[in-house]
Amino acid sequence: MSTADSAARRRRRLSAEEQALWETVTRAVKPIRKKRPEKPKEAAAPAAPAPEAPPRPKATPARRPAAVPAKPAPPPQPPQPPLASLERRLVQRVSRGAASIDARLDLHGHTQDVAHRELLRFLRVAQAKEARLVLVITGKGAGKGAREGAAPFGSGRGVLRRLVPQWLALPEFRSYVIGYDQAHVSHGGEGALYVRVRRAR
């Protein structure tokens, strides 16, 4: 058999059954899809740099107010010497009338507040008038009139006799008073005081 005969036989037509079978097979077979080459991913664009915050203004240090010069303190006043009793000779001269009393103050019937105010005013005026020795009458205290209620309540009878010497030692009185002593009987005795007035500076 020749080669041509063999090729002819190979090219023979399929029978109807073979053709139907072939069509069935070809319909069942799905062609293999070629995968498309993946596109290279684009490189992500670099993120834009964040905008820089504007620089904060430098805080200027608060200016301290100029120091106000302090007022110079007044010079301390020299301490006053303690109150002294009057010279015995002076008391004798006053009691005999050889030395005069420049002014008198009677505190009978005054309340403590009024008596304190009146005593301070009296000594201030006495100093301004250059008085040297004054008489302050306080009263001897509870007597017949006090027991009978003749003196008004709060008049200070007896109380002033005790308080006036204490007041004379206070700083507000010291610029007016040098010292004091009990008066002679002729001027009130225990119910009165001789007060020596300080010279005005």
Whether this model's pTM surpasses 0.75: no
pLDDT, tens only, 131-157: 999 999 998 875 544 443 434 433 445
Q: Which helix (H) or strand (E) holds 176?
A: none
**DSSP string for residues in 47-80:** PPPPPPPPPPPPPPPPPPPPPPPPPPPPPPPPPP
Q: Across residues 104-118, what is the average pLDDT?
A: 94
Is residue 50 very low, low, confident or very high in pLDDT (cuts 50, 70, 90)?
low
Is residue 82 very low, low, confident or very high in pLDDT (cuts 50, 70, 90)?
confident
Domain 88-197: state its class.
alpha beta
